[in-house]
């Protein structure tokens, strides 16, 4: 009996998760009937992401004066990257916060968008949630968690040198949790269950979230990011669902006991 194929390595799993971000953009662009559902989140994101970026830029000089490297105290090869990372962290945090508020306000439209993506891929959506009220409550809990992550992203970004890196990692984690919420909530998963799901699929989840964080900094693309990431997150849930649990042990080939 042939042995099961080896599981993909860590890098391939991270790349597979990240791939669902452009896949979300692609399915959104190719499916005109999704555009009305994406319109409200896009308008809210355009306004609030812009305001968040302006807030981040406004605060940069104040924050840099407090925690940034003192000019001349370090070599240029340390000082310049540290300043660039601080700028990236501050602007990214403002955009992150603006997007979080937009997603929270657009929760009903995004849930319907996720449902229609699943209809397009599977023909019918899975719906194992306990009730509409329960599903809405779970979506709001996830949205508030995303908003509460913004201060953590901001504070980590203030740590010299390594802080911005951890800020991006944590932000990516929050993005992955939020953008898969509609699909996972429809499957009856509570907030704690959704956290467990993301731990089981950590490489794919983190790859998806990091790609989403990079997308936050791309001008104009970040305006479509909310609906595109919800579409991509739904595609990722469907893709991983077909693979079963990553923690399941591989079944060994049976021994030949006839001899």
Q: What is the DSSP string of 155-185?
A: HHHTSTTTHHHHHHHHHHHHHHHHHTHHHHH
What percent helix, strand, coil does the chain show, rounded to 5? Answer: 75, 0, 25
Task: For residue 208, count other CB atoms closer than 10 A to its CB.
Answer: 30
pTM above 0.85, yes or no: no
Per-residue pLDDT of 45-92, as tens digits, reads 888 888 888 888 887 777 777 666 666 566 666 667 767 777 777 777
Whether pLDDT at 257 is above 50? no
Task: Find the range with the poorest average confidence among 1-5, 86-90, 97-101, 216-220.
Answer: 1-5
202 contacts 180 by C-beta, under 8 angstroms: no
Cα–Cα dist 247/234, whole Å: 21
CB 52 within 8 A of CB 99: yes
Cα–Cα distances in angstroms (integers) from residue 103 to residues 7, 167, 176, in the given order: 35, 20, 13
């Amino acid at each position: 009996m042939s042995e099961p194929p080896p599981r993909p390595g860590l890098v391939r799993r991270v790349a597979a998760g990240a791939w669902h971000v452009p896949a979300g953009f692609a399915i959104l662009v190719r499916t005109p009937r999704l555009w009305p559902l994406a319109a409200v989140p896009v308008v809210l994101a355009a306004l609030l992401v812009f305001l968040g970026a302006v807030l981040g830029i406004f605060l940069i000089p104040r924050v840099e004066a407090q925690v940034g490297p003192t000019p001349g105290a370090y070599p240029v090869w340390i000082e310049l990257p540290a300043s660039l990372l601080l700028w990236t962290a501050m602007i990214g945090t403002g955009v992150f916060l603006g997007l979080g508020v937009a997603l929270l306000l657009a929760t009903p439209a995004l849930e319907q968008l996720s449902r229609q993506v699943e209809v397009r891929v599977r023909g019918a959506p899975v719906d194992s949630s306990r009730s509409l009220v329960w599903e809405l409550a779970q979506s709001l809990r996830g949205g508030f968690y995303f908003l509460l992550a913004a201060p953590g992203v901001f504070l980590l970004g203030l740590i010299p040198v390594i802080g911005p890196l951890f800020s991006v990692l944590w932000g990516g984690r929050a993005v992955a949790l939020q953008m898969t919420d509609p699909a996972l909530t429809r499957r009856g998963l509570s907030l704690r269950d959704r956290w467990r799901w993301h731990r089981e699929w950590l490489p794919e989840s983190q790859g998806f979230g990091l790609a989403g964080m990079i997308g936050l900094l791309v001008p104009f693309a970040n305006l479509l990011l909310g609906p595109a990431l919800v579409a991509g997150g739904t595609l990722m849930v469907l893709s991983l669902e077909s693979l079963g649990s990553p923690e399941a042990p591989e079944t060994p080939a049976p021994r030949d006991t006839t001899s």
